[in-house]
Amino acid sequence: MSSPNSSEKQPATKTSASSALKPQKPIQASAIYTFVPNQIGFLRVVLMLASLFTMQHHPKFTMCCLYSTSCLLDAFDGYAARKYGQSTKFGAVLDMVTDRCSTCSLIVYLGVIYPQWFIAWQLLISLDLASHYIHMYAQISSGSNSHKTLKKDTNVLLRLYYENRTVLFLVCALNELFYMAVYLDYYDFVKLPFIGISFPRLLVYVSTPVWAFKQFMNVIQLMNACNMLAEMDAKNYNEINKLN
């Protein structure tokens, strides 16, 4: 029997969160839907869909409870995927599709309440969808495991945007805040003392520079993805036609 002061190491009894959730036998495809990050993703979808029904008549409830919560949960699904070792291709696609559907749905409503800017709203939706779709397709075609994993020779701003989680979170959050603030600014809010503008209008001013940067990044992302596909096509063409 070892004494209380024995130097023999006792077996560890604590297990990590990821190992505690790891199955003991092969899983079926349906089990992917039960992964924690994907459950968070499904909740995001429910909240986003609910916001569509309240957007017209309940602006405060929509932005403060439904739409904003759906956006904030975007920061937690990736964390859960890393913590529990449950990163999946389905989850990555679900995350991006939910982001695109949320933003575009809100912009569509902005086109209803600000019809004088309908061309701008159409261009923003087109740029958002095109840049992200072509980017993901190019990354998958190149053999990358994630649309956030970029080559070392990729544009430095694009790498900073995708590889620095803090930058990615802040840019995406303030981009959404811009659209939310523009939406809320349509409704009557009391003007703040001393500055003479409403709180939503103040948020519009604060978030506009980052929103503009996000659109700039969408253009860079679109151009980079097109160049990637063109390079792969050129390589494939040369191999088929045996051109050196």
89-113 and 74-83 helices cross at what angle (nearest 10)?
180
Instruction: Kindly state the DSSP code that residue 114 receives in the 8-state scheme.
Output: -
CB neighbours of residue 224 within 10 Å: 19
Find the domain containing 64 and state its range. Answer: 30-240
Distance of CA 86 to the CA centre of its chain: 17
**pLDDT of 46:** 97
Mean pLDDT of the chain: 88
Range from 42-56, 62-76, 147-161, 179-193 carrying the lowest mean pLDDT = 147-161
CATH classification at residue 87: 1.20.120
Q: Which tens digit of pLDDT belongs to each residue from 184-223?
A: 999 989 999 999 999 999 999 999 999 999 999 999 999 9
Q: Which residues are catalytic?
A: 99
Domain total in the chain: 1
pTM score = 0.84
| DSSP secondary structure letters along 175-239 | HHHHHHHHHHHTS--PBPTTT-SBHHHHHHHHHHHHHHHHHHHHHHHHHHHHHHHHHHHHHHHHH
Q: Does a structural domain hold residue 9?
A: no
Query: Quick check: is 214 in a domain?
Result: yes
Find all residues with CB under 8 Å of 71, minimum gap 6, and list them: 102, 173, 176
**103 within domain boundaries:** yes
pLDDT one-digit tens code per residue, 95-145: 999 999 999 999 999 999 999 999 999 999 999 999 999 998 998 888 876
As a whole number of Å, the end-to-end CA separation of the chain is 75
Residue 10 located in a structural domain: no
CA distances from 54 to 65, 118, 186, 198 (A): 11, 22, 15, 22
